[in-house]
Chain A
Amino acid sequence: MGPRTAVEKVLGILALLAMLVGSWVGLVVVPADAAQGNVQRLMYVHVPAAWLAFLAFFIVFVMSVLYLIQREERWDRVAASSAEIGVVFTVVTLLLGMMWGKPTWGVFWTWDPRLTTTAILLAIYVGYLALRSFADDGEKRARWSAIVGVIGFANVPIVYMSVTWWRTLHQPPSSPRSVAPEILWTLMLNLGAFTLVYAYLMVRRVRLAKLEGELERRMAYNA
């Protein structure tokens, strides 16, 4: 993929440092939650992972719309890269939720609306990636993926609103007014760290996508 550029190096170091500080504050500095105790510390990684999954799929949506309008390959590359990273964040979100759920609810998994809609979200974007690996023709693959990227995003607001629309075990969204300042700042710090990680992974993944496109062109030329 070639050596990292100076910007990529700085972004990578910043992301790593921010993650280290965020984890340290979440695990050591901030006091345990009065109601849930120490297991609530999982919130500082669970919530940022979920937000970043939403952001990643929002980027897929925007890039898919742009592709369908302009038919430029670069939009498809960014959409596919963001979908892959979004899947990683969604898997992390679900597994962290299970680890938080067991000591809090007594079960790792229950068919609760928030959990179920998140599992559907994961299935949609795994399907998106599977679709890309099945289609041989580059233009067709980009077009089909863009359609799935646009339609699939409809589930994101459903996941977000699921705790409001249905009766659920999952806690409703908290507002900054209802959360202690130290919890809020720790959450914001980790959100910033996860965003830097997403940005770094995106830069690297898009470069890889460009290279994959080049390889595909050369293989087609050679065939």
Chain B
Amino acid sequence: MRKWSAVSVVYVLALILLWVYTGRVGMENRGFVVAGYGLTWGALLWYAFRLESRGRTTARAVESFEVAGTGD
């Protein structure tokens, strides 16, 4: 969770930096370019962290069967 929060902060800062950079170089259609790259990074990071979270939840559930002595 802490890692996800840190990555979210870095992600938002990178987007702001990209927005400022594209403004300074006078990039036309920069809204679409920044949104496109932001969406790509956002989606892949979200999915990668979602996998980790699902993994932790599932591992805990498997362990709970072990603790209850009903597993192998």
Contact = CB atoms under 8 A, between A and B. Distances in A.
Contacts, number: 101
A218 B70 contact: yes
Interface stretch (A53-61, A90-98, A130-138, A176-184): A90-98
Nearest to A87: B47
Contacts of B6: none
A215 B36 contact: no
Interface stretch (A67-75, A111-119, A160-168, A206-214): A206-214
Interface residues of A, number: 41
Contact of A208 (B21, B41, B43, B58): B58
A204 B59 contact: no
Nearest to A1: B55
Interface in A82-114: 85, 88, 91-92, 95-96, 99-100, 102-103
Interface residues of B, number: 32
B41 A23 contact: yes
Given A38-B33, A207-B55, A221-B70, A91 B48 contact: no
B62 interface: yes
B71 A218 contact: yes
Interface in B24-72: 27-30, 32-33, 35-37, 39-41, 43-44, 47-48, 51-52, 54-56, 58-59, 61-62, 65, 68, 70-71
B70 A38 contact: no
Closest 6 CB pairs of A and B: A1-B55, A218-B65, A39-B29, A42-B36, A45-B40, A99-B36
